[in-house]
A and B are shown apart, each in its own frame.
Chain A
Amino acid sequence: MNFSLRTKKGHCLLLPSAAFFFCLSLIPLSMLVVFSFLDGNLNSDGSFPGFTAANYVRMFSKTMFARLMGRSLLIGLTVTLICVALAYPTAWGIAKVVREKNRNMLVMLAIVPFFTSQLLLIYAMMVILQSRGFLMSLMGWLGAADPSGSILYSLPAVVVVLVYEYLPYMILCLYASLEGIPDDLVQASRAMGAGRLETFVNIILPLSMPGLLSGIMLVLIPATGSFVEPGLVGGSGGMMIGSLINSQFNTVLDMGYGSALSFVFLVCLSLIMFMIRALSVKANRAIGGMA
């Protein structure tokens, strides 16, 4: 028997949000398909000037789109890999090595960038990387590089800034699942003669797989779709697919083509997201819901 209010009228409470997200998320995303056939821009009263397949012809006949899409995915993957490499030992350190009382503080610190403006993080990194800035002066002092040079306004700068922005997400996701691994399990494995590498491959990695995959999702998707970073620190050679989409809406003002680009980009990312989700389900099943 259940006495509470919730069983009777519960579902009605979903109506406002269902309507809200239907109008602001589902409809706009599906209407992108329609807008992608738009010839130029909408008229000022919202009516269609006409439909055309030219946007798609243009997208696939020139190499621009494919090149930028490929480069963006490559940048996204590079950023994700660097984040995993940096974050894994760190998350392990926070979860298992540091003292209990420091743990909470480190986790809290990792949250701070999450609440800081994305633009200020980019700005902070720009100040570090700029010529005669902190890093270059240090390099110059060490005799490793000319202090008036800088990697700013190039592709590597985009990667560094993106890693800086998204690393905390990866640390937190990995920490969340590493922290749940019982110490006895690791000790048992070591006591029974497994080496450090063997224990990692057989115990720690499978158990942390769900956290790893959600971290990959949280880093790969936004990093691939970034347009602010390439615009600010990428220079002329650092353009990404996001920059191309953004320019259609803010400088070139060809919103039909912009919508087509947005839509194809969304389809590509959705495929990746589905793949990660499928892997995630599999990983969860493999460890029987543990961690």
Chain B
Amino acid sequence: MKDKAFNRAILIWTGLVYAFLFLPIAVIVFMSFNANKYGALPYAFTTRWYVKLFTEDGLLAAAGLSFGFSLAAAFTAMILGTVTALGMRPLTPSWRGRYRRFISLPVVIPWLVQATSILMILNFIGWGRSYIGMFLGNTAVITPYVVMLTLGRFSDADDNTENAARTLGARPVRVFFDVTLPKLVPGILSGALMAFIMCFNSFCIQYYLAPFGVRTLPIEIFTLVRSGYTPDMNALAAVMALAAAGVALLLNKMGYSGKKLMNM
């Protein structure tokens, strides 16, 4: 009986914490359909902020730029990350750990320090703020995710299938493409998806490394947030929260639950 009361208290606590996490997002979504420009009540339903979002250029152009840029960075991270994971496989566990710590430096160190140090190096070699610098900096921050998720696929299954294929006469290249790679694909794709979304949202790196005057979506959002409440920001936030939920669902379907992602 006492246990029951305790469990009920735990459930109420859990509910309150989730309310704290999602109420602000819910309010934003709710307000994105409110006609009043300053978010004041009474509530009048409208979709004009969404129409504005998708027809006026500011945010949409920035979103387009961010989308293309993140695609390029995520693709590069996918290739680099997969090759790295394959290379890390034969290492002994302790060396694998060391190498893992080395490549996840950009994730562990605060973004601000990471961004300032790369900016200084870029200034030093004369590139300064530039597309190539932003691209390299962002790729460095997202590649570790691809490596971790791909590496995780190795431990899920043992090498027996590969050895069997070899014993049955398949050439190493064939073993790689027919046995090893298919096993890795879910990890590679999930890693690339995660890399993409991380790059799409990575404000700090872009704030420091984007060429002057170039506005990616995070930079554009930053300028808008500084100016306070804007109804089309609400619409954008609603769309992006929905997209984030979609990504979480997709990763979950691919076998990456929250637990697995945190164990990286």
A contacts, CB < 8 Å to B: 2-7, 10-17, 20-21, 24-29, 31-32, 35, 42, 45-46, 86-87, 89-90, 92-94, 97-98, 104, 106-128, 130, 132-134, 164, 167-169, 171-173, 175-176, 179, 196, 214, 217, 221-222, 224-228, 232, 242, 245-246, 249, 255, 258-259, 262, 265-266, 269, 273
Contacts and interface: CB of A to CB of B under 8 A. Distances in A.
B112 A246 contact: yes
Contacts of B261: 111, 114, 172
Given A2-B163, A118-B201, A24 B136 contact: yes
A260 B140 CA distance: 23
B259 A125 contact: no
A93 B10 contact: yes
B197 A115 contact: yes
Interface residues of B, number: 101
Nearest to B133: A24
B240 A45 contact: no
Given A97-B7, A120-B240, A12 B87 contact: yes
Interface in B209-264: 217-218, 221-222, 225-226, 229, 233-234, 236-237, 240-241, 243-245, 247-249, 251-252, 257-259, 261-263
Given A6-B90, A14-B87, A115-B197, A25 B120 contact: no
A10 B121 contact: no
5 contacts: A17-B87, A93-B10, A97-B10, A114-B244, A124-B25
B262 A176 contact: yes
B167 to A, nearest CB: 7
B157 interface: no
A46 B110 contact: no
A46 to B, nearest CB: 4
Contacts of A245: 112-113, 116
A224 B113 CA distance: 12
B262 A173 contact: yes
A269 to B, nearest CB: 7
Contacts of B172: 4-5
B191 interface: no
A24 B106 CA distance: 9
Contacts of A259: 116-117, 120
B103 A117 contact: no
A177 B48 CA distance: 46
B189 to A, nearest CB: 15
Nearest to A214: B262
A111 B251 contact: yes
B6 A196 contact: yes
Given A12-B87, A164-B24, A116 B113 contact: no
Interface in B5-29: 6-7, 10-11, 13-14, 17-18, 20-25, 27-28
Contacts of A265: 110, 113
Contacts of A94: 14
B235 to A, nearest CB: 11
A57 B7 CA distance: 57
B83 interface: yes
B118 interface: yes
A196 B147 CA distance: 41
Contacts of B50: none
B113 A25 contact: no
A167 B243 CA distance: 20
A116 B123 contact: no
Given A111-B248, A116-B244, A232-B225, A28 B233 contact: no
